[in-house]
Chain A
């Protein structure tokens, strides 16, 4: 497809479960970002990749959050032992060189 895709679109997890969220960026985009958007709030930065290198993970809220992009394209955000406060929309964005970011539709995670 032409845009950023994310899967699943919706995920319901029981507290304590592990989840994995996938992002397929636009082909050729070097930069990839993950954001967390709580209900009624603006997106907040989680982590950034340049190709396969994770250059900034300062926004990850705890060591239960882990992201990878092993081949410099698809990225996975993993949350271990989910908690209710992890409930949010997780947005992925990709960017070519220095330009605007293109966002995917997000994954809405609900932790019960």
Chain B
């Protein structure tokens, strides 16, 4: 079975602090994709990043960075110098191409981590 675990339910930081959101996944597939989405209070899920299982290179995009480690089945997300606008619920998700039952890539989400950044 496929599963995504985000152990941190809520995190609260003060502006300019760095914060890391943890994500641990389970899958038997050798080819899979991992995602992070942001869900602000407006409710719309905003795509942040997609990584495939063959590319363990870490990625940095501005204040955001992602650490993918297959050895520990983790795909952690770090926000550097957090800002109030970063306050949202962040979801980690997993899919595999041609997944179980012909699902063709439906996303398996974690329960999300609510990040509150205080001024």
Contact = CB atoms under 8 A, between A and B. Distances in A.
Interaction A to B: yes
Interface of A: 31, 33, 35, 40-45, 48, 50, 55-56, 58-59, 89, 91, 93, 95, 98-106, 108
Given A42-B91, A42-B111, A31 B43 contact: no
A35 B105 CA distance: 13
Contacts of A102: 47
B104 A56 contact: yes
Interface residues on B, range: 20 to 34
Interface stretch (B12-20, B65-73, B95-103): B95-103
B42 interface: yes
Contacts, number: 66
B55 interface: no
B102 A42 contact: no
15 contacts: A33-B106, A41-B111, A42-B4, A42-B93, A43-B45, A43-B91, A45-B108, A89-B43, A91-B45, A100-B35, A103-B45, A105-B43, A105-B44, A106-B44, A108-B43
Contact of B106 (A59, A89, A99): A59
B107 to A, nearest CB: 6
B70 to A, nearest CB: 20
A9 to B, nearest CB: 9
A31 B107 contact: no
B47 A45 contact: no
Interface in B68-119: 91, 93, 97, 101-112
B50 interface: yes
Given A43-B109, A98-B97, A48 B103 contact: yes
A45 B111 contact: no
Given A31-B105, A100-B35, A100-B50, 9 more contacts: A40-B112, A41-B111, A42-B112, A45-B108, A56-B102, A93-B45, A98-B97, A98-B105, A100-B47
